[in-house]
Amino acid sequence: MLGPNRYGKAETRLVRVHRDGDTHGLVDFTVSVALSGDLAATHLTGDNAGVLPTDTMKNTVYAFAKKHGTGEPEEFALLLARHFVASQPQVHGAKVSVEAIGWERLGPHSFRRRGDHTRTAVVTVTGDGEQVVSGVTGLVLLNTTDSEFHGFVRDEYTTLPEATDRILATAVDARWRHSGVDVAWGESFDASLAAMTGAFVGTYSYSLQQTLYAMGRRVLQERPEVAEVRLALPNKHHYLVDLAPFGLVNEGEVFIAGDRPYGLIEGSVVRDDAVAAVAEWWL
């Protein structure tokens, strides 16, 4: 039998210039749309009567960017998802994902790519409700000290030495689920990002797991509109270089940055009253 399925247009590149006289605004989105619903016939018999072409989805992204502007990523994703569910009776659910690249203003119409991270938003609209998940990927953070790792399990294959002063580095992949859709999206994103980075900076870490929990907990403490935070933190290992062959003492100053393999720490921090709703959006 046919199981759960969906289809859509992935990674539509959208650059929107908002012109206000001589001062321009710049939005840089990558938009993906996925629809589900009464679509079994196209799989089972090839009957496409209920299939909205994915090319139409792409065109809708561009037309809506012109007609309605873009606003924040969450706002634009909600607009699109609601449209597909409302306009297509055979569509029961729409998932719209947006990756937003930031640009820093240099002048009225000049910009520079900002930072190394990407802002994300994933919106799901069905007949049962609406869900918004904001996030960030590729946010590289590093502490040169205030990090230890010791007291761990040892067996016959363990060679890792215990560390009482190490570099802690990661590239944050974080997503946070909102409890509703009446949110000042830009303000909420900036504040959530500041809370996570502030917790990373201010936590004396005995494990990356401890740091993960501190980052998620800080967001929930400071942002009441957030119900749950999920983080994936790769441990970007830095190894002390042996300088003894050169007659030099390396006092925690010269390192080689490892690439692969790396530890990967994943976890979620959830409000007590939001536990029942955490299962679905992780997928």
Residues designated as active site: 9, 54, 237
Q: Is 64 helix (H, G, I), strand (E, B) or coil?
A: helix
Whether the Cβ atoms of residue 96 and residue 123 lie closer than 8 Å to each other: yes
DSSP per position, 106-145:
EETTEEEE--S-EEEEEEEEETTEEEEEEEEEEEEEEESS
> Which stretches of the chain are DSSP H helices?
40-44, 54-68, 73-87, 185-202, 208-222
- Class of residue 113 by CB neighbours under 10 A (exposed 0-12, middle 13-18, buried 19+): exposed
* Residue 218, both tokens: 């800080």
Residue 53 neighbours by CB distance under 10 Å:
10
The angle, 0 to 180 degrees and rounded to 10, between the axes of the packed helices 185-202 and 208-222 is 140
